[in-house]
Amino acid sequence: MTAPARETRVPAACSVDAPLAPLTHCRIGGRARVLCVAESEDDVREAVRYRRGAGLPDDEVIVLGGGANVLINDARDYGLVLKLSERFNAIEVEEESGVARIEAGIYTPRLVREAARRGWDGFQFLAGVPGSLGGAVAMNAGVRELSTWDLVRAAEGITWGGRRIRVEREEARPSYRRGNLPADLVVTIVECDVRGGDADAIHAKARELASSRKDTQPLRWPSWGSTFRNPSGASSTGMTAGALIDSAGLKGYRVGDAAISDLHANFIVNLGRASAADALACIRAAYEAVRDRHGVRLEPEVQLIGFPPDDLAFLEDR
Ligand SMILES: Cc1cc2nc3c(=O)[nH]c(=O)nc-3n(C[C@H](O)[C@H](O)[C@H](O)COP(=O)(O)OP(=O)(O)OC[C@H]3O[C@@H](n4cnc5c(N)ncnc54)[C@H](O)[C@@H]3O)c2cc1C
């Protein structure tokens, strides 16, 4: 394991040689040589300064929110992991403009509860979509009818070059499960439009959405949620990614402790001590089976982090 460059002092709020698996929903990850858990924009700036001093290239750096949509290669370590703390979660409301400025570390279920308490309509669709608001903006997370950017006016943050920038919705042009933000931006503040609604109805809808998932998703096991985006466009068969994998006969396919769920074929679950290689082998098996059976090249939604290009070469369209 390489020690951090000598001339670069690790910021006080950071730890060294930290395991990453506990920071992910699927419980798979390598180690961070330096882990910064940011509770404020100042902490993010400290991490940016540290990276610059240590001269760390892109493939040595990971930004994490809740870790709910990542598969991190556990066969290596990483020079710097910057995680936004759940405590980076303040909400400031500008009553006149009907805008809420929300710190990006806030955990989405907490945001849903807080929005319901304040009688804000719209946020309830995020019930059951785990992770941070920053991650939801980066991924444009959502459900069939609504995505995060439908509520978001702008995202602000710090670039790895040390600049503070603001990206309006019209500039980002978010699309299905893509926030389309600049790759070097760490989102720290999300500006949302808020509109009033009936608090009881909002609570009820959030509860209904969260509990409806218990029947359709394998929530007993760690996972990263959907593995592939649902296909669209000319080559699409009209089937969801899960239906395509199911019809290719891969439900229950297992490598080591990673398995394609019997309940929802687009979920790959960690049955115990799955390695990143086990999980990637399941992703590959699903991809190749769907390509061979249906001629559809699925696109991963899960962020595959830290793998050598050869390991991902089976994803022909990347
Ligand atoms: C059980 C389960 C169910 C799920 N259901 C859904 C669903 O219905 N719909 C859906 O869309 N998703 C779903 N997901 C996936 C996941 O919840 C979302 O993608 C979520 O928005 C990820 O947020 P996160 O903070 O955990 O991001 P992470 O997993 O930490 O990161 C995801 C990506 O966003 C980047 N990122 C994170 N934070 C920031 C930041 N502050 N600034 C810049 N980049 C950042 C990371 O670098 C990474 O590339 C599900 C996941 C699970 C485990």
Structural domains of the chain in order of their starting residue, each with its CATH number: 14-84 (3.30.43.10), 91-202 (3.30.465.10), 217-312 (3.90.78.10)
Token code pair at residue 284: 């590959």
Q: Relative to the CA of 187, which ligand 1 atom is closest?
A: 42
| Under 8 Å between Cβ of 19 and 31 | yes
CA distances from 109 to 23, 69, 177, 280 (A): 17, 15, 19, 28
164 has catalytic annotation: no
Annotated catalytic residue, options 177, 191, 223, 261: 177
Contacts of 214 (CB under 8 A, 6+ apart): none
Q: Strand ranges (DSSP E) for the chain?
A: 14-19, 31-38, 61-64, 70-72, 77-78, 80-84, 91-94, 99-103, 120-121, 152-159, 164-168, 185-193, 195-196, 223-226, 254-255, 258-260, 267-270, 303-305
Annotated catalytic residue, options 41, 46, 191, 301: 301
Token code pair at residue 184: 């070097």
**Ligand 1 neighbours (beta carbon < 6 A):** 25, 63-70, 84, 104, 129-132, 134-136, 138-139, 141-143, 177, 185-187, 217, 219, 223-225, 303
Q: Whose CA is nearest to atom 7 of ligand 1?
A: 129
Pick from 25, 43, 62, 69 the residue to mutate for probing ligand 1's pocket: most ligand atoms within 8 Å of its CB: 69
Q: Relative to the CA of 131, which ligand 1 atom is closest?
A: 26
Q: Relative to the CA of 130, which ligand 1 atom is closest?
A: 17
301 has catalytic annotation: yes
Q: Whose CA is nearest to atom 50 of ligand 1?
A: 225
85 has catalytic annotation: no
Quote the ligand 1 centre to 180 CA distance (angstroms): 14
Pick from 88, 129, 268 the residue to mutate for probing ligand 1's pocket: most ligand atoms within 8 Å of its CB: 129
Q: Relative to the CA of 70, which ligand 1 atom is closest?
A: 29
Residues in the chain, pLDDT under 50: 4-7
pLDDT, position 109:
92
pLDDT, position 7:
47
Q: Strand ranges (DSSP E) for 138-261?
A: 152-159, 164-168, 185-193, 195-196, 223-226, 254-255, 258-260
Quote the ligand 1 centre to 210 CA distance (angstroms): 16
pLDDT, position 53:
95
Pick from 43, 103, 139, 240 the residue to mutate for probing ligand 1's pocket: most ligand atoms within 8 Å of its CB: 139
